[in-house]
Amino acid sequence: MSKKELKENLWGFGFIAPQLIGFLAFSLFPTVAAIILSCFEWDLVSKPKWVGISNFKYIFFSGESDFPLALKNTVLYILYTIPAQLFLALVFAVILNNVGLKMLYRAIFFLPTITNSVAISLVWTWLLNGDFGIINTLLKSLGIEGPQWLTDPNLVMLSIALMSIWWGVGYYTTIFLAGLQSIPNVYYEAATIDGANAVQKFFKITLPMVSPTTFFVLIMSLINGFQVFDQIYIMTNGGPAKASMSLVFLIYQYGFKDFKMGWAAAVSMVMFAIILTITLVQFKFSNRWVYYER
C-alpha cells in the first residue's frame, strides 16, 4: 500500500471511528458476551461456571422453564398485531394518498409513533382499566359490560396488541404512503384507458407495486413484534400469572429478577435464531410475491 493510500485509509477510519467504537462497544461486544454467557451459569455474585448447553437444555426440555409460555404469548401477540397493522396501515395510506390536507392527517397518524412508549403505556393502562377506564365506561353507557382488559388472562395479550396496533399503525402508514407515492401514474392511466375500476386498480396495480414496501414492513413488524417489552412491563408486568409474558420480558425476568444470567442469555440466543430464521425464510420466498420495478 502506498503512503497516499495508507493516509487515505487512516482518514477514513478516523471519520468512522466514533460510529465504529460505538458499534464495537455497545453492539458487537455485548452480542459476543451474550453468546459466551449463554454457556455459563452466573448469578452476578459467584464466579461464572461453564455449563455448556445446559442452559439451552433447561429452557427447552426441563418442563420448568417459562420459555414455551413466553414463546406462545409472543407468537399470539404477533398474530394479533401484524395482520391488523399491515391491513390498517395500507388502507390508511391509500386513503391518505387521495385526500386533501395530507400533511395534517399524516401528522395526526404519526403522532402516537413519536410519543414515548412509557407514556403511552401508562395512559392505556388507565384507559383499559376494568373498573374506571374510559373504554369500559363508554361501553357501560351503551349497556355493555366491559371485560377486564388487562387482568383477564385470556384477554390480556389481545389488549396489549390493540394498544400496539394503535401505536404503531401511524409509522407503517407513513412508510406505505411513501411506497404508494413512488408508483408511477402511467400504470393507473393505462388501466383507466383499459377500463379498470378502482378495485381492479388496487389489486392489479397498487398491491403488486407496493409489495417491496409491504415486504419491508412485514420484516420490521415481525422483528418489533418479537421484541415487545415496554408495553408489557408498564401495563401488566408480565401478568396476570404470566399470561402476558413475552420472550424479552422472560429475558428481563431471568436476568434482572432471578439473577440467572445464563438462562437469560440462552433465551436471547434462541430468540435471535428464531428471528434470523424467519427473516431468511421471508427473503427466500420474497421473489414469489415481491415485484421490483426494473
Partner 1 sequence: MKKFNVAAIIVMSMFLLNLLLFQNIFIFQSQAASQKITLTFMNWANPGERERFIKFNEYFMKKNPDIQIKYITVSSDYDYKLLTMLAGNSAPDMFYVGDGAIRKTIQSGKLEPLNSYFGKGKVILKKEDFDNVLFRIAEYKGKIYGIPVDCNPMVIHYNMSIISKLGLESPQKLYDTGKWTWDEFYKIAKKAREKGYYGYVLDSGWWGPIMPWFATVYKDGREPVLTDLKNKKSLLDKPEYIEVIKFLVKGIKDKAFTYAGSLPQGQTSDGMFLSGRLVFGAWGRWQVPNFKKAKFSWDIVPYPTKYGNKNTKTYIAQAVISMSSTSKYKEQAWRFIASFTNQDGQKFRLEGQGNAVPAIKGIDYLVTQDKVPAHAEYYVRGRENGFPIDFYIQEAGANSAALQELEKIFVLKADPEQQMKKIAGYITQQYQKNLKGY
In the bound state with partner 1, the residue whose beta carbon lies nearer, of 44 and 138, is: 44
Residues that bind partner 1 (CB under 8 A): 24, 28-29, 32-33, 36-37, 40, 42-48, 64, 122, 125-126, 128-130, 148, 150-151, 153, 234-237, 239-242, 253, 256-260
In the bound state with partner 1, the residue whose beta carbon lies nearer, of 221 and 236, is: 236
Contacts of the segment 190-197: beta carbons below 8 A, 24+ positions apart: none
Closest distance between partner 1 and the C-beta of residue 257, in Å? 6
Strands 49-50 and 40-41: antiparallel
Closest distance between partner 1 and the C-beta of residue 193, in Å? 52
Closest distance between partner 1 and the C-beta of residue 4, in Å? 18
In the bound state with partner 1, the residue whose beta carbon lies nearer, of 121 and 174, is: 121
Q: Are 160 and 167 in contact (CB under 8 A)?
A: no
Residue 18 to residues 8, 149, 166, 256, 267, Cα–Cα distance (Å): 17, 46, 36, 30, 31
Cell of 200: 381492479
In the bound state with partner 1, the residue whose beta carbon lies nearer, of 90 and 245, is: 245
Q: Are 212 and 290 in contact (CB under 8 A)?
A: yes
Pick from 210, 242, 8, 259: which is nearest to 94 by CA? Answer: 210
In the bound state with partner 1, the residue whose beta carbon lies nearer, of 165 and 245, is: 245
H-helix or E-strand containing 49? Answer: strand 49-50
Closest distance between partner 1 and the C-beta of residue 187, in Å? 42
Cell of 146: 366491559
In the bound state with partner 1, the residue whose beta carbon lies nearer, of 213 and 236, is: 236
CA dist., res. 100 & res. 85, Å (int): 24
Closest distance between partner 1 and the C-beta of residue 293, in Å? 32
Closest distance between partner 1 and the C-beta of residue 28, in Å? 6
Q: Quick check: bond before 240 cis, omega within 30? A: yes
Closest distance between partner 1 and the C-beta of residue 258, in Å? 5
In the bound state with partner 1, the residue whose beta carbon lies nearer, of 170 and 262, is: 262
In the DSSP assignment, the letter for residue 142 is T
Residue type, 232: I
Cell of 158: 389481545
Backbone angles phi, psi at 244, to 5 degrees: -120, 25
